[in-house]
Structure 1
Amino acid sequence: MEKAELRRSLLKTRQSMSLAEWKQSSDRICTHITTSPLFTQAKTILAYFSFKKEPDLSPLFASFNGGKDTQITKRWGFPRCVGDSLCWHLYTKEDSLQKNGYGIIEPHADAPTIKPAEVDLIIIPSVACDYQGYRLGYGGGYYDRLLSSPEWATKPTIGIVFDFAYLPQLPIESWDQPLQNVCTEMGLTACRS
């Protein structure tokens, strides 16, 4: 199956999830992430705001953002589309957000930026992932370009998908960059790439 056809099929399945099923599966994903050493040891994490029924990670930001207990304080970064690249901005609960041209929630341009050297973990939204760590996104190539650059290539990554979109193999192109881990509601798995 071609990428475009597979993407359409999986997005249709995701959109058909009931609100209760989406919430329950998202919460289970958050639980698996929070118990992972990748997460517990990370201080600065790049993530995303849920779009078109992507798994909702907002419970992570609510419980770990700016907490008084320094044991659980995390710095969160979120992307802003700038041309064909992603610019990462620091986010706290008090910050306002905006919708970009795609309808995706993102930080304002004047929010403080995060440099690659500060980042401990990147949590990446995906339409699908396979057992080798390859992901199917929306087709813009933003994350493949990010992960192909030397300053980002070695950062730990977790692709986030619902279990129905975690597949044995995806069609891949030469520019596709594999992720190191995938998390579904069934658990977090290291990839075999």
Structure 2
Amino acid sequence: MAGEPGLDDPKPVWRRHFRQRRADQPEAQQERLLEQALSGVPPLLRPDQRLGLYWPLAGEPDLRELARALPGRLALPAIRALAENRRLGYEVWKSADPLRLDAAGVPAPAPAGRPLPATALGLLLVPALAFDRRGFRLGYGGGWFDRLRADPSWRAVPALIVAPATCAVEQLPVDPWDVPFDGWLSEAGIEWLQPVERSGL
């Protein structure tokens, strides 16, 4: 699309471009995205499954109202220091629970809980600066979700990118370690790249 970075441009150029685009999203568009999440996400989960949500940073769609639709069934990502390594995992979170910054400076459950196994989650929602029609996501450059989803047990958990439809492009630059997502959630609804066999689908 005209005015967008080219595939030869480095990812930081793309990030600057789409940070601005996302910041310019009208409030009504954000509200429609939340409505799509509230109507479309809960039926995708079995009663014994949790939703992997996220704590919204500046400009990211705020989907925390899903806590009312799925009481006691949410988990937030948390980056914890394990020995000399830092890893992303998901921990149980309820809307009234306190939060504390994790090892990457993002609000996460406090005190730190035990990471949940992949089998406890039925769906992951992950925000993005941009995404393409192949399911690749442009994030902030930490690579946390790519490393998590390189594990086959986590790759088996359906995962949707969350972003406004105006942040969709035909093709993003990708690195060898980038792991594509199963689809996306925008104000236009949920779009799967491939059928996903889950309760309610």
Residues 135-164 of structure 1, C-alpha deviations (whole Å, 9 max, x = no match): 110000000000001221111111101111
Is 1:24 matched up with 2:22?
A: no
Q: Structure 2 unaligned runs (5+)? A: 1-5, 195-201
Q: Which residue of 2 aligns with 1:185?
A: 187
Matches within 5 A, 1:73-88: 75-83=73-81, 84-88=86-90
Q: TM-score, normalised by structure 2?
A: 0.80
Alignment of 1:17-166 (within 5 A): 17-18=25-26, 20-21=27-28, 23-31=30-38, 33-34=40-41, 37-39=43-45, 43-66=49-72, 75-83=73-81, 84-100=86-102, 102-166=104-168
Q: In structure 2, how many angstroms separate the alpha carbons of the residues matched to 1:178 and 1:120? A: 17
Matched residues in 1 for 2:117 and 2:189: separation? Answer: 30
- Greater shift, 151-160 or 133-142, is seen at 151-160
Task: Give the C-alpha shift of residue 32 in structure 1.
Answer: 5.0
Stretch deviating more after TM superposition (119-128 or 38-47): 38-47
* Alignment match, 1:11: 19
Moved runs in structure 1, 4+ residues, more than 4 A?
39-42
Q: Distance in 1 between matches of 2:155 and 2:41?
A: 23
Q: How many angstroms does 1:181 deviate by?
A: 1.3
Q: Give how far 1:56 is off.
A: 0.8
TM-score by length of 1: 0.83
SS at match of 2:58: coil
Map of 1:171 onto structure 2? 173
In the aligned structure 2, how far is the partner of 1:103 from the partner of 1:82? 10
Q: How many residues align?
A: 182
> Which one-letter code corresponds to 1:34 in the other structure?
V
Alignment partners' CA distance in 1, 2:44 and 2:69: 17
Give the deviation of 1:167 after TM superposition. 1.4
Which string of whole-angstrom CA distances, capped at 9 and with x for unpartnered residues, describes residues 40-63 of structure 1?
677211110111111111111133
Which structure: greater helix fraction? Answer: 1
Contact 2:80–2:102 (8 Å) recurs in 1:
no
Give the distance between the partners of 1:177 and 1:156, measured in 2 at CA: 12
Give the letter for the 2:28 counterpart: E
* Greater Cα shift, 24-33 or 110-119: 24-33
1:61-117 deviation per Cα after TM superposition (whole angstroms, max 9, x unaligned)? 133214xxxxxxxx1110111244212110112311123465422112433431112
Over the aligned positions, Cα root-mean-square deviation in angstroms equals 2.2
Structure 2: distance between partners of 1:130 and 1:39: 25
